[in-house]
């Protein structure tokens, strides 16, 4: 752990929900307090009651079994997430309601009712079974934001296969690593995807990844663009052929509550990305309750979570959460600036989106593009806005509230992580005033605290480490194939509590402001990247002997990637080639903004790189802190001069 938790606070005036919004919202402050109190004092009763709102094929014998740090929720119960998201809705009369409204970047629109979606998911489930996928098998999905992504996820859930969605922006190597690590024999991909008017060749990447991932046996290929990708006989099957041949009858498997629902790879401070494993029952209950309460969903809402299914937000709030609550979801394939920065607002107007959930990076980009884009459109259908993925600066918060929300829509800033499965901190929209830049209060069952490195509570207003002291239903269960890493990473840093890397502070009202990572994880445009991953990509290039990567504050992306490299004897460094190399190894999202060639790195006498100083150098700041432990403090001056050039 490194320290950068001493941010100064700046108090923002609270923004109250309108009387109109508060009157129609499902929870007021008093109700929240009573529910929160019960969820902490008597979690078994609280979660047992919430879970009863969903369908269980067999009941639990106990709500929680906690053998720190391993939790089992709804012990012995059986259920199925896809059944709850689809069959249950159709059975309760929502068959003709819109489940997914999808818009391609090229303007194509498709609408699936709950009945349509159920039929597709049943066919896809049968198609997977035909390919030999059985309960417990991992299936990797490398797909664009098209309805088939949600259908494939739900089809896996239906048969008890464990999906592992890999973001379409990841490179061949990153995809191959994830396929191999999860042991997936089947990959679902698409021929291509539209992005900024061009075609992204997903199938080409998948073919190249298959060369590096010998475990892979079958590929199911959705035809999104031209259907002209080369197909390998015996291995590749078109999605539409497989679904057409498959029966539309399928009964959802009754799965143990603790059966894994999905693996999602995410970056940490050390080693390769880890496969975060989520459960069936607990995740379902967490995604369901948070969607319902945070987004205050009503029957007529059209909910648009702009996150890609490649990230956890796309899992919990573009697919599972909203479908579990019977909502209508808008899904969009492409870039926010295609054909121009008005694309989102045009879509809000045309589809009459009522709840919009997006990321601070996007908001800052819209802000920079100018008010004229949103001002061209009628955004009066919006009634609630959300933010996720990184700290939102008060200026961006206020712009979002004023220009997009017309000072009418509450803005919920939601803090959570891949590991937490669902929203952990927020300001419930109708119940409390929001403080711009501050996530807010803990969600139900979340026993959050701000502590020192040795686990003692810090005083209100002081910076510290954000920890969770009790298990919650949607928490990760383990790291795929490496339970020891789970125990050590999440429950071993600070004794007896969950800690996953953020610094925060709490004010006198109990509102928590999350200030950012205190470990070696970068948050670039809301995407998590480990410095180690980028460093190992860099040293994998023949011209680099050593590399150190840090984040530099960036107005648009929150943070950008800065690398310092030492040149391998006998080579010269081509900075552009190195940047391309990182893109090839991980994906364009990890490409360093700057690469500096150095003659040495700031190391302690024991050889540890002091990233703290490198961060200061990268940001062009004065060096502060004790440099006496450095083997050669003069390194910093030379690096600073290089950066300043
Ligand atoms: C950061 C995304 C401040 C945080 C759901 C966390 C936030 C990491 C917020 C998880 C927020 C997410 N305010 N920081 N509202 N939301 N973060 O796993 O550093 O992709 O640890 O999950 O994003 O990123 P992940």
Query: Given this model, what pLDDT does residue 359 score?
Result: 97
Decide whether any atom of ligand 1 lies within 6 Å of the 514 Cβ. yes
Ligand 1 midpoint to CA 523 (Å): 8
Ligand 1 midpoint to CA 290 (Å): 16
Which residue's alpha carbon is at the smallest distance from atom 10 of ligand 1? Answer: 417
| Residue 10 in this model has a pLDDT that exceeds 80 | no
Decide whether any atom of ligand 1 lies within 6 Å of the 414 Cβ. yes
Mean pLDDT (whole number) for 300-318: 98
Decide whether any atom of ligand 1 lies within 6 Å of the 389 Cβ. yes
Asked if the bond preceding 339 is cis, omega within 30° of 0, the reply is yes
Decide whether any atom of ligand 1 lies within 6 Å of the 528 Cβ. yes
Ligand 1 midpoint to CA 501 (Å): 10
Tokens, residue 137? 């098998």
Decide whether any atom of ligand 1 lies within 6 Å of the 391 Cβ. yes
Quick one: which H or E segment has residue 532? helix 531-539
Query: Given this model, what pLDDT does residue 272 score?
Result: 85
Cα 273–Cα 474–Cα 159 angle in degrees, nearest 5: 80
Confidence of residue 268 (pLDDT cuts 50, 70, 90): confident
Measured distance CA(360)–CA(358) in Å, rounded: 7
What is the chain's length? 645
The per-residue DSSP string of 40-104 comes to: HH-HHHHHHHHHTTS--SB--SEEEEEETTEEEEEET-EE-HHIIIIIHHIIIIITTSEEEEEE-
According to DSSP, residue 235 is labeled T
For strands 162-165 and 138-142, give the pairing.
Answer: parallel
Decide whether any atom of ligand 1 lies within 6 Å of the 544 Cβ. no
Asked if the bond preceding 39 is cis, omega within 30° of 0, the reply is no
Measured distance CA(440)–CA(432) in Å, rounded: 9
Pick from 170, 273, 287, 390 the residue to mutate for probing ligand 1's pocket: most ligand atoms within 8 Å of its CB.
390
Which residue's alpha carbon is at the smallest distance from atom 5 of ligand 1? Answer: 417
Decide whether any atom of ligand 1 lies within 6 Å of the 505 Cβ. no
Query: Is-above-0.75 flag for pTM?
Result: yes
Q: Roughly what angle, to the nearest 10 degrees, separates helices 43-51 and 29-41?
A: 110
Mean pLDDT (whole number) for 452-469: 96
Decide whether any atom of ligand 1 lies within 6 Å of the 207 Cβ. no
CB 103 within 8 A of CB 109: yes
Query: Given this model, what pLDDT does residue 1 score?
Result: 39
Pick from 411, 526, 528, 551 the residue to mutate for probing ligand 1's pocket: most ligand atoms within 8 Å of its CB.
528
Decide whether any atom of ligand 1 lies within 6 Å of the 502 Cβ. yes
Measured distance CA(522)–CA(102) in Å, rounded: 31
Measured distance CA(332)–CA(637) in Å, rounded: 48
Measured distance CA(90)–CA(266) in Å, rounded: 34
Which residue's alpha carbon is at the smallest distance from atom 14 of ligand 1? Answer: 390
What percentage of the chain reaches a pLDDT higher than 70? 98
* Rounded alpha-carbon distances, angstroms, from residue 244 to 122, 240, 480, 505: 11, 6, 34, 54
Measured distance CA(431)–CA(479) in Å, rounded: 36
pLDDT digits (tens, 9 = 90+) for 368-412: 999 999 999 999 999 999 999 999 999 999 999 999 999 999 999
Query: Given this model, what pLDDT does residue 11 score?
Result: 66
Decide whether any atom of ligand 1 lies within 6 Å of the 313 Cβ. yes
pLDDT digits (tens, 9 = 90+) for 386-396: 999 999 999 99
Pick from 389, 506, 530 the residue to mutate for probing ligand 1's pocket: most ligand atoms within 8 Å of its CB.
389
All domains of the chain, ordered by start, with CATH? 12-80+280-449+464-501 (3.40.50.12780), 525-644 (3.30.300.30)
- Which residues lie closer than 8 Å to 536 by C-beta, 6 or more apart? none
Would you give the distance in Å from CA 574 to the centre of its chain? 33
CB 331 within 8 A of CB 101: yes
3-state secondary structure of 538: helix
Query: Given this model, what pLDDT does residue 5 score?
Result: 42
Decide whether any atom of ligand 1 lies within 6 Å of the 525 Cβ. no
Pick from 416, 426, 524 the residue to mutate for probing ligand 1's pocket: most ligand atoms within 8 Å of its CB.
416
pLDDT digits (tens, 9 = 90+) for 157-177: 999 999 999 999 999 999 999
Beta-strand runs (E) in 82-185: 98-103, 109-113, 138-142, 162-165
Measured distance CA(172)–CA(174) in Å, rounded: 6
3-state secondary structure of 238: strand
Query: Given this model, what pLDDT does residue 628 score?
Result: 87
Decide whether any atom of ligand 1 lies within 6 Å of the 559 Cβ. no
Q: Which of 391, 377, 516, 481 is nearest to 5 (CA)?
A: 516
Atom of ligand 1 nearest to the CA of 515: 3
Torsion of CA 579, 581, 585, 586, to 10 degrees: 10
Measured distance CA(90)–CA(113) in Å, rounded: 9
pLDDT digits (tens, 9 = 90+) for 96-118: 999 999 999 999 999 999 999 99
HEC string of 285-346? HHHHHHHHHHCCCCCCCEEEECCCCCCHHHHHHHHHHHHHCCCEEEEECCCCCCCCCCHHHH
| Residue 6 in this model has a pLDDT that exceeds 60 | no
Decide whether any atom of ligand 1 lies within 6 Å of the 316 Cβ. no
Which residue's alpha carbon is at the smallest distance from atom 12 of ligand 1? Answer: 389
């Amino acid at each position: 752990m490194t320290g950068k938790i001493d941010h100064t606070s700046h108090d923002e005036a609270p923004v109250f929900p309108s009387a109109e919004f508060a009157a129609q919202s499902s929870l007021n402050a008093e109700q929240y307090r009573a529910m929160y109190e019960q969820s902490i004092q008597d979690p078994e009763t609280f979660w047992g009651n919430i879970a009863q709102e969903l369908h269980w094929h067999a009941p639990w014998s106990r709500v929680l079994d906690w053998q720190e740090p391993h939790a089992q929720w709804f012990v012995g119960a059986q259920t199925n997430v896809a059944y709850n998201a689809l069959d249950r809705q159709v059975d309760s009369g929502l068959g003709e309601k819109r489940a997914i409204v999808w818009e391609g970047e090229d303007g194509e629109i498709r609408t699936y009712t709950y009945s349509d979606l159920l039929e597709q998911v049943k066919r896809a489930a049968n198609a997977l079974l035909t390919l030999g996928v059985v309960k417990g098998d991992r299936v990797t999905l490398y797909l664009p934001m098209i309805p088939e992504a949600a259908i494939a996820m739900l089809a896996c859930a239906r048969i008890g296969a464990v999906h592992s969605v890999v973001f379409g922006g990841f490179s061949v190597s990153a995809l191959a690593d994830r396929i191999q690590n999860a042991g997936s024999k089947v990959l679902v991909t698409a021929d291509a995807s539209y992005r900024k008017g061009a075609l992204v060749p997903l199938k080409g990447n998948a073919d190249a990844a298959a060369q590096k991932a010998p475990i892979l046996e079958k590929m199911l290929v959705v035809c999104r663009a031209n259907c002209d990708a080369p197909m390998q006989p015996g291995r590749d099957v078109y999605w539409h052929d497989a679904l057409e041949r498959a029966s539309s009858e399928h009964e959802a498997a009754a799965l143990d509550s603790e059966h894994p629902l999905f693996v999602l790879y995410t970056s940490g401070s050390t080693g390769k990305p880890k496969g975060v494993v989520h459960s069936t029952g607990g995740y379902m209950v967490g995604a369901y309750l948070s969607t319902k309460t945070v987004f205050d969903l009503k029957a007529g809402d059209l909910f648009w979570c702009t996150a890609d299914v490649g990230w956890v937000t796309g899992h919990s709030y573009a697919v599972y959460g909203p479908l579990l609550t019977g909502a209508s979801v808008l899904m969009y394939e492409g870039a926010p600036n295609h054909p121009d920065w008005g694309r989102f607002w045009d879509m809000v107007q045309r589809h009459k989106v009522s709840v919009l959930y997006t990321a601070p990076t996007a908001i800052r980009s819209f802000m920079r593009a100018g008010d004229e884009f949103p001002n061209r459109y009628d955004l009066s259908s919006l009634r609630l806005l959300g933010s996720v993925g990184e700290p939102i600066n008060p200026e961006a918060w206020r712009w979002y509230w004023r220009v997009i929300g017309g000072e009418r829509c509450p803005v919920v800033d939601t803090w959570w992580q891949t590991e937490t499965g669902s929203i952990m901190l927020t300001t419930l929209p109708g119940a409390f005033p929001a403080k711009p830049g501050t996530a807010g209060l803990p969600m139900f069952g979340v026993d959050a605290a701000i502590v020192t490195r040795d686990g003692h509570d810090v005083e209100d207003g002081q910076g510290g480490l954000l920890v969770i002291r009790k298990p919650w239903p949607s928490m990760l269960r383990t790291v795929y194939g490496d339970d020891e890493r789970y125990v050590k990473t999440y429950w071993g840093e600070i004794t007896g509590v969950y800690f996953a890397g953020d610094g925060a502070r709490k004010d006198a009202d109990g509102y928590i402001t999350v200030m950012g990572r205190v470990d070696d994880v970068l948050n670039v445009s809301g995407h998590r990247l480990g410095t180690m991953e980028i460093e190992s990509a860099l040293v994998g290039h023949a011209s680099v002997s050593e590399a150190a990567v840090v984040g530099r504050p960036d107005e648009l992306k929150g943070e950008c990637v800065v690398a310092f490299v030492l040149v391998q004897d006998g080579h010269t460094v081509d900075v552009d080639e190195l940047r391309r190399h990182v893109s090839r190894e991980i994906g364009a999202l990890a490409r360093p903004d700057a690469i500096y060639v150095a003659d040495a790195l700031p190391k302690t006498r024991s050889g540890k790189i002091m990233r703290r100083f490198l961060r200061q150098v990268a940001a062009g700041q004065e060096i502060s802190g004790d440099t006496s432990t450095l083997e050669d403090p003069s390194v910093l001056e030379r690096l600073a001069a290089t950066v300043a050039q």
